[in-house]
Amino acid sequence: MNAIKILVVEDEVIVAEDIAGRLKKLGYIVTATVVSGEEALEKVAEERPDLVLMDIVLKGNMDGITTAEQIRTKVDVPTVFLTAYADEKTLQRAKLTNPFGYIIKPFQQHDLRVAIEIALHRHEIEAKMRESLKASEATREWVEEKSYRQNQYISMAAHELRNPLNAILISAELLQLDRDRSNDEAQVRTLRLVNSATKKMNQLIDDMLFMGRAESGKLKSHPLPINLVEFCQDLLDQLQLGNEAKHKLKFIPSDVTSAILDQQLLHCIISNLIVNAIKYSPSGGQVSLELQYSQAGDGDKEPIFCFSRECLFPNTQCTNINYPLLIIRIQDEGIGIPETEVGKIFEMFYRCKNTEKIKGNGLGLTIVKKAVDLQGGAIGCESKIGVGTNFTVVLPYVALSSKNHR
Ligand code: ATP
Ligand code: MG
């Protein structure tokens, strides 16, 4: 065990030297002996002793009690008072500083040792108690946050599932009514409504399940070899098929064709971002998906990748990355995101003010962010109202093999 470091604050130099000598004999380290409160504060800050032995009566502007009070508010170092006499008023003042012990002068070496050891022990126990209180407080907050989120899920799911479910119910009734009239056109319209309502419910259930698995830590990345170009082209083709607003979906592949990535997470990222790009831009607008490969950076050179405006997330280290990256850009010419809201779009259920008329649950980007995080990547967004939005995802790039990764 390391020797205990003690600061002695005593304005009688001879007494101070005597105490220091006794402490050394007992095996303690005396960091310094000082004669005033001001010096004591300086030494405590500089040397962080394990304990301060403090004479109550000190010459100068600060007595021992005021000094102990200031030490207590600044650092977590226990104080033991040394006193030759103690009137009631002084004792009451001393008590307020929560001292860890008193030694009445004159004292025996043994008394000194007992007072110091008890003070250190008490200080250690109090620190442990504070730690466990902090830990239980953190656990309580975590449990509360978790149950709050669960309640949010449940009420949101109930609310959002009710609309499509009602649509299905009404459609079923209409179909029943139309049965005898055999109005084909009306029936097709109604069936389309059922189809879209069911799809919406399905999507919401999928999103909730994804979030549930992510929150409980059950969702993991399972990277496997993937042909990036084919994967993106297929995904764009699927989205183009379901895109009634006839946006132009443009693919700008890089010369990287293959990588090792989690296909499901990648699908989740790209599809959510493209669906948003389509949803929040006018019919016929262009949405582009661009892939880029970036070599490992050199620490001395310019960063190989940096979000051009600002890092949206403080934990995103986008400078001096020294491993290869896959950069995915999804760009639209849509309504844009208000500047003041860009920092909130990845929060669960957050929807921007300018999208009130367009339906959504505010879950897509939360899912995207989780999927990016799970793969050790980062995401950023640049947007201008009325001009468009550009999402950039960077993922660590693992090549399939040195021969075929480019
Ligand atoms: P859903 O859960 O169905 O995806 P959503 O699209 O509203 O619903 P997110 O995808 O999480 O939810 O997006 C959050 C918000 O960010 C959106 O409501 C919208 O206000 C804004 N947003 C996202 N992408 C774009 C975009 N490309 N252009 C403009 N606004 C966007
Ligand atoms: Mg969305």
Buried b (16+ CB within 10 A) or exposed e, 64-74: bbebbbbbbee
Per-residue confidence band for 386, with pLDDT thresholds at 50, 70 and 90: very high
The answer, yes or no, to whether residue 8 has pLDDT greater than 70, is: yes
The CA distance from 377 to 395, in Å, is 4
Task: Compute, in angstroms, the gap from residue 199 CA to the centroid of ligand 1.
Answer: 18
Q: What is the pLDDT of residues 117-148, one digit of tens each?
A: 999 999 999 999 999 999 999 888 888 887 77
pLDDT at position 261? 92
pLDDT at position 151? 73
3-state SS, residue 294 = strand
Q: Which of 365, 370, 372 to mutate to test the pocket of ligand 1 (most atoms within 8 A of CB)?
A: 365
pLDDT at position 355? 93
Per-residue confidence band for 17, with pLDDT thresholds at 50, 70 and 90: very high
Q: Which of 207, 273, 274, 351 to mutate to test the pocket of ligand 1 (most atoms within 8 A of CB)?
A: 351
- Which residue's C-alpha comes closest to atom 29 of ligand 1? 336
pLDDT at position 291? 94
pLDDT at position 101? 87
Q: Which domains does the chain have, with CATH numbers?
A: 5-107 (3.40.50.2300), 145-215 (1.10.287.130), 224-404 (3.30.565.10)
Residues lying with their CB under 5 A of ligand 2, a single-atom ion: 276, 364
Q: How many CB atoms lie within 10 A of CB 18?
A: 14
Task: Compute, in angstroms, the gap from residue 358 CA to the centroid of ligand 1.
Answer: 9
Interval 345-366 mean pLDDT: 91
pLDDT at position 299? 46
**CB under 6 Å to ligand 1: residues?**
272, 276-277, 280, 332, 334-337, 345, 350-352, 355, 360-366, 389
- Which residue's C-alpha comes closest to atom 25 of ligand 1? 276
pLDDT at position 397? 84
The CA distance from 357 to 375, in Å, is 34
Closest CA to 98 of 83, 124, 77, 129: 77
**Which residue has tokens 């050891």?**
117
pLDDT at position 147? 79
CA 89 to chain centre: 50
Task: Compute, in angstroms, the gap from residue 294 CA to the centroid of ligand 1.
Answer: 28
Closest CA to 320 of 348, 298, 287: 298
Q: What is the pLDDT of residues 34-80, one digit of tens each?
A: 999 999 999 999 999 999 999 998 888 899 999 999 998 899 899 99
**Where is pLDDT greater, at 324 or 181?**
324
Q: What is the pLDDT of residues 191-204, one digit of tens each?
A: 888 888 888 888 88
Closest CA to 200 of 192, 188, 190: 192
Q: Sign of dihedral through CA atoms 152, 155, 159, 165?
A: positive
Task: Compute, in angstroms, the gap from residue 363 CA to the centroid of ligand 2.
Answer: 6
pLDDT at position 61? 87
Q: Which of 156, 276, 389 to mutate to test the pocket of ligand 1 (most atoms within 8 A of CB)?
A: 276
The CA distance from 58 to 66, in Å, is 10
Interval 163-169 mean pLDDT: 82
Q: What is the pLDDT of residues 260-303, one digit of tens each?
A: 999 999 999 999 999 999 999 999 999 999 998 877 654 444 44
Per-residue confidence band for 95, with pLDDT thresholds at 50, 70 and 90: confident
CB 277 within 8 A of CB 290: no
3-state SS, residue 289 = strand
Most confident among 33-47, 83-97, 177-191, 297-311 (mean pLDDT): 33-47
How many residues are present in the chain? Answer: 406
CB 171 within 8 A of CB 193: yes
Angle, vertex CA 39, rays to CA 36 and CA 43, nearest 5: 135
Task: Compute, in angstroms, the gap from residue 361 CA to the centroid of ligand 1.
Answer: 8
φ/ψ (deg, to 5) at 29: -100, 130
Task: Compute, in angstroms, the gap from residue 272 CA to the centroid of ligand 1.
Answer: 9
Task: Compute, in angstroms, the gap from residue 63 CA to the centroid of ligand 2.
Answer: 65
Closest CA to 345 of 401, 396, 273: 273
The CA distance from 356 to 43, in Å, is 61
**Which residue has tokens 């059922």?**
194
pLDDT at position 99? 83
Per-residue confidence band for 311, with pLDDT thresholds at 50, 70 and 90: very low
pLDDT at position 33? 95
Min mean pLDDT across 44-58, 310-324, 330-344 is at 310-324
Cβ-in-10-Å burial (0-12, 13-18, 19+) of 26 comes to middle
Cβ-in-10-Å burial (0-12, 13-18, 19+) of 76 comes to exposed
Q: How many CB atoms lie within 10 A of CB 318?
A: 17
In 3-state terms the chain splits into helix, strand, coil percentages (rounded to 5) of 50, 15, 35
Min mean pLDDT across 132-141, 172-181, 202-211, 226-235 is at 172-181
Of the listed ligands, the closest to the CA of 353 is: 1
Closest CA to 308 of 364, 253, 382: 382
Q: Report the chain's mean pLDDT, rounded to a whole number.
A: 84
CA 196 to chain centre: 36
- Which residues are registered as beta bridge partners of 353? none
φ/ψ (deg, to 5) at 169: -60, -50
